[in-house]
Amino acid sequence: MKKIQILLVFGLILLSLGCQTIKLEPANYEWPIENAVQVQKDFTISIPRYSLTMNLKKIFENEILITDNQPNVQEVRVIRNYEGLYFLTANKFKNVYILQEDLNKMEVYSIIEITKNGIVNPVFNQRGSYVELLIDNEKIVKLSKEGKYEKK
């Protein structure tokens, strides 16, 4: 009888240990450099290096950059920060979109308005706690997950 009780207690201990969540901290998701990605006619982009594919049609609709049901912009810029959020923009976009992963989809975490006329020649750079957006090789905008930015 005691052996059965000992086995039951041991089994419960093992079971409770198996139910614990394991967290691996810290984790850094950042991409050291941006990716310039071609937009397909069906509004999808694909970055094989990071096994990432997504459809951007709703973003193009928001930017009003669709002609004859096709994207008006051929290339987007994407970078991922240390927290795993994706920053996305393109030439002619008015905004930077911060995206977060969800089960089998991307959700817009926030939208940062940069200009009312459209961004010219955007380039992302990773800068530790923030992502830097260089516009037309002169204007610098600092971006964070809160969607706040400051212009220099």
For the stretch 16-27, pLDDT in tens is 666 678 888 888
User: What pLDDT sits at residue 52?
Assistant: 94
Name the range with the highest mean pLDDT among 20-24, 88-92, 126-130.
88-92
User: What pLDDT sits at residue 66?
Assistant: 86
- Confidence bin at 6 (pLDDT 50/70/90): confident
Q: The pTM is what?
A: 0.83
Q: What is the mean pLDDT of residues 50-67?
A: 93
Which residues, other chains included, contact 86 with Cβ-Cβ below 8 Å and sequence gap of 6+? 78, 79, 80, 98, 99, 100, 106
How many Cβ atoms are within 10 Å of 42's Cβ, its own excluded?
Answer: 11
User: What pLDDT sits at residue 149?
Assistant: 65
Radius of gyration of the chain (CA): 22
User: What pLDDT sits at residue 28?
Assistant: 87
- Confidence bin at 108 (pLDDT 50/70/90): very high
User: What pLDDT sits at residue 17?
Assistant: 60
Domain ranges of the chain: 29-151
Separation between Cα atoms, residue 113 and residue 92, nearest integer Å: 12
Residue type, 106: M
Eight-class DSSP state of 146: T
Tell whether the model's pLDDT for residue 152 goes beyond 60. Answer: no
Sign of torsion over alpha carbons 32, 123, 52, 104: positive
**Does the bond joining 26 to the residue before it have cis omega, within 30 degrees of 0?**
yes
User: What pLDDT sits at residue 14?
Assistant: 61
Bridge partner residues of 125 (DSSP): 33, 132
User: What pLDDT sits at residue 3?
Assistant: 74
User: What pLDDT sits at residue 151?
Assistant: 58
Which of 83, 101, 99 minimizes the C-alpha distance to 28? 83
Tell whether the model's pLDDT for residue 55 goes beyond 90. Answer: yes
